[in-house]
Amino acid sequence: MQILKTSNSVATLYKKFIVWRMRHMSNRTFLLLLSVLVGLLSGLAAVVLKTLVHETNRLLLQFNIPTFVGGNLLILVYPAVGIVLTILFVRYLAKGHIGHGLPSVLLSLSRRNGYLPPRDMYTSVIASTLTVAFGGSVGLEAPIASTGSAIGSNIGRFFRMSAHDVKLLLGCGAAGAIAGIFKAPIAGVLFVIEVFMFDMTATSILPLMLSAVSASSVAYFLMGNGLQFTFTVVGSVGLSQTPYYIILGIFCAAVSLYFLRVTDVVESWFVRRRQHYRAIIGIVLLGLMIFLFPPLFGEGYVFLTELLHGSNDLLFEHSVFSFLNDNGWMVIVFLFALILVKPLATATTIGCGGVGGTFGPSLVIGGMSGYFVCLLLNQLGLPPQSSAHFALVGMAAVMTGVMHAPFMAIFLIAEITGGYALMVPLLLTSSVTYMCVSPFEHHSIYARKLAEKGDLLTHDKDSSAWQLMDLRKLIETNFVIVREGDSLRDLVEAIKYSKRNIFPVLTSDDKFIGVIALDDVRRIMFEPDKYDSVGVVNLMHPISEGDIVRISDPPQAVVNKFQVGNRYNLIVVDDEGYYLGFLSRANTFSAYRRFVSSLSEE
């Protein structure tokens, strides 16, 4: 009874607050306050998760059980423990309801008005922690960004904000998460603008910046001045080095395409297998890859930090190939092999049941790629280059190729190194990589599958307007139907009561089979002697696939059918062929103009 009274009191206070806010505070002011709150919570989630995983990795790697061929037997076992724990959590605690990272967030923006279920605020965080803490070769950035997005979405809906504001708060959560991880607020904002394809307007930029700065402040308060990569750029880049950075850009483009292709093929292969086979095969393969290449263990940031400081020590630590450490060419070969295997390890981790993202792996692979190119150039006797500079620029370049977010990648490196000394090579190399990758991949790793289905929200305002519209609300159902077994007499009776000149023909179980146009039967309807001898199936108007749309078709596909065939009406059916109604060209385009007008006002 006491619990019920407390619950009623909380509900009453909540309603009073909502009423007070609507009366005394403008929507814009309240939105800015909520953006700060979302940033604080997202930054806190990022710090807690990163710290927990880092400390667990450090603790586990303190133990070493050598084998007769060298290496550490435990790093063969740790990933299996993490994958099993993740699978158990997803199946029995999350009940299989776990968001699929950033693609789910992008889909919620284009199809669900920014709605993300409350469980997304914790399920992917817990699952990714279990995966990465025990050595799964994936990143935490995407799960944290999707968690931040869910925090923003649910806070917006809790305070009854409009759909537009909910989506903006969702973006604030993602910006805060990235800013909190790297203490890079500008990169957090650019991440949302480039990856989530938000428009940089006066309405959106200030909440995003407030959220990113709030998250960075939380990270500084809890973690001090230490960054994800503690490195200060020393020296400058001369004009004579330009050709070498162009070479690096081309190499990073090839690595980016390789990363995209491998992750797609491997994950698709795992999807076609039963879950227990996926788990067994994946655990064995992942364990072997990490055993042979220990830098694949976990996110790989500790290893990457060592590379930035010019040290190869962690490259062969606990490795069966440690005897190669003193051979310059063997180091280069081993590093190249590591670049090739890392995408396999990432895709295997995800495919066999682990939870994680590709943001971190792309950053690590980029750093290894830059370091590899630098070592190779130096080994060939060319003018010596800075391995740290090449590694940092390579990080930005591969992120650009994989995520199609060049400005986010450039400013991320600039912010984590505390300056803009590498701005020219960052711009040059990332531009070269982007130009080489874009003809082969038009969308980022997060967006390409959504783009194939027409579910992607883009910076193209015309396409985005169609994408955001709910065409289901425009379906017209005031058509008189006739059945396939009806006669002309039944059709004439239907014409008496219809205000439309089209009559859908359905089976007895409501499946659509055709239409009858009034113009096609105008003459025969005045011949009573044929009323019982002619059936409606003999009077159906010829239609093609271009006249029919399915309820799951993306809005742009519907628009294309209107425009290509110059049709005035389209028949709408569900995915099993059951009749739902009609879409009118005039009503659809009128709704589009009203929608665009409302967007402009915002």
User: What's the pLDDT tens digit per position in 521-571?
Assistant: 888 888 888 888 888 888 888 777 778 888 877 777 777 777 776 777 888
95 or 462: which carries more pLDDT confidence? 95
Q: In terms of domains, do 302 and 335 share one? A: yes
Number of domains making up the chain: 3
Same domain, 291 and 351: yes
Q: What is the mean pLDDT of residues 182-190?
A: 90
C-beta of residue 299 within 8 angstroms of C-beta of residue 182: no
451 and 472 in a common domain = no
CATH number of the domain enclosing 310 = 1.10.3080.10
Encoded tokens for 304: 């990457």
Is 228 contained in some domain?
Answer: no
| Residue 54 shares a structural domain with residue 106 | yes
Query: What are the distances in angstroms from CA 531 to CA 488, 526, 567?
Result: 5, 9, 31
Tens of pLDDT, residue by residue over 267-310, are 888 888 887 888 899 899 998 998 888 889 888 888 888 888 87
Which two three-digit tokens encode residue 188?
């957090």
Q: Is the pLDDT of residue 76 over 90?
A: no
Query: Mean pLDDT over residues 11-27, rounded?
Result: 76
- 535 and 501 inside one domain: yes
Contact 148, 42 (CB under 8 A): yes
Q: Give residue 101's pLDDT band: very low, low, confident or very high (50, 70, 90).
A: confident
Among 219, 178, 194, 182, smallest CA distance to 48 is for 219
Element (H, E) at 572: strand 569-573
Domain housing 477: 463-601
How much is the mean pLDDT over the chain? 82
Please indicate, yes or no, if residue 265 is contained in any of the structural domains: yes
Residue 108: predicted pLDDT? 75
Q: How confident is the model at residue 602 (pLDDT cuts 50, 70, 90)?
A: very low
Distance CA 494, CA 591 (A): 30
The answer to whether residue 337 is domain-embedded is: yes
Query: pLDDT tens digit string along 365-380?
Result: 999 999 999 999 988 8
Same domain, 57 and 98: yes
- Closest among 212, 213, 189, 211 to 201, alpha carbons compared: 189
480: in domain: yes
